[in-house]
Structure 1
Amino acid sequence: MLDDATKAKWYRIVFDLKKQFGKKPDMNGLIFLIGVRELGQMREFAKHEKMDLMHIATCKLLSYEGYYKFEHIDEEGWPHYSLVQKPPFTDLMSQENRLRKLIVDYYEDNGLFEDMDQA
């Protein structure tokens, strides 16, 4: 369960992205956008690259809780993470709430709420 402050920040993210893209983003869309931001390349991506972007984002988000550790950026600019420990198995709602909290943490850590205020 998310606390009220985290919930409010989550809805702020969703509202801002809906305003920006014209539709409410789903979790996969949010994770993809974080992956693109982490890669730092704006271009068309092949299907396998899109899956890699989602993996990058998931690793980045779970690194906040110590499950993954950033290792390096390869010669093509792709970040690589290593698994420190497996996240615990939880039900879908708990997974969704964990990701929502971690996305809020990501926005805070990267100053993205401030960017939203300036837009």
Structure 2
Amino acid sequence: MEEKTTDEAWDQLLDRLQTLIGKRPGDLNAVLFLIGVQELGKGPKRFSKEQKQDLMHLAVCRVLSQSGYYTFDGYDKDGWPQWTLSKPVPHGDLLEQEDLLKEHIIRYFESELV
């Protein structure tokens, strides 16, 4: 059987998320936001623009931690997970960075959505 391309696996993930949450995420940032909310663990609520950016950063750290790019350091006084860069994230153009994130997000959901 042929391996799925990243784009095929990404589309299947978006379909699965649509089934789970009732709405298909529009882009990579929407999926990162969902992961950030999940990782924060405080349930759905209203977030400020800055908090939304923080949630997406949290998600990036979490998914890239699978390959050792980030290490979990614990929680801050407000209960937000804190991460430290462990090794440099590979440089690349925007599409290469997006593919790296998509591949890690797909792996994240494969382990989280059993």
Q: Which TM-score tier does this pair reach, normalised by the shorter chain?
A: 0.7 to 0.9
Aligned with residue 64 of structure 2, among 46, 62, 65: 62
| Deviation of the 1:8 alpha carbon | 4.1
CA gap 1:40/1:24 in 2 versus in 1, 3 angstroms: closer
**Which residue of structure 1 lines up, in the alignment, with residue 15 of structure 2?**
15
| Deviation of the 1:18 alpha carbon | 3.7
| Contact kept in structure 2, 1:17 and 1:25, CA below 8 Å | no
Q: Distance in 2 between matches of 1:6 and 1:72?
A: 31
Number of residue pairs matched? 110
**Which residue of structure 2 lines up, in the alignment, with residue 44 of structure 1?**
46
Q: Distance in 2 between matches of 1:37 and 1:50?
A: 13
**Which residue of structure 1 lines up, in the alignment, with residue 4 of structure 2?**
4
| Deviation of the 1:7 alpha carbon | 4.5
Q: Distance in 1 between matches of 2:28 and 2:49?
A: 18
The CA RMSD over aligned residues, in Å, is 1.8
Give me the TM-score of the superposition, normalised by structure 1.
0.81
Post-superposition Cα deviations, 1:36-80, rounded to whole Å, max 9, x if no partner, equal 000012210111111110110010111111111000012322000
Aligned pairs for 1:1-119 (under 5 A) are: 3-4=3-4, 7-19=7-19, 20-41=21-42, 42-110=44-112, 112=113, 114=114
Give me the TM-score of the superposition, normalised by structure 2.
0.84
- Per the alignment, in what secondary structure is the counterpart of residue 46 of structure 2? coil
Unaligned runs of 5+ in 2: none
| Deviation of the 1:85 alpha carbon | 1.6
What percentage of aligned pairs have identical amino acids? 39
CA gap 1:40/1:88 in 2 versus in 1, 3 angstroms: same
Unaligned runs of 5+ in 1: 115-119
Q: Distance in 2 between matches of 1:32 and 1:24?
A: 10
Q: Distance in 2 between matches of 1:13 and 1:38?
A: 18
| Contact kept in structure 2, 1:18 and 1:25, CA below 8 Å | no
| Deviation of the 1:5 alpha carbon | 6.2
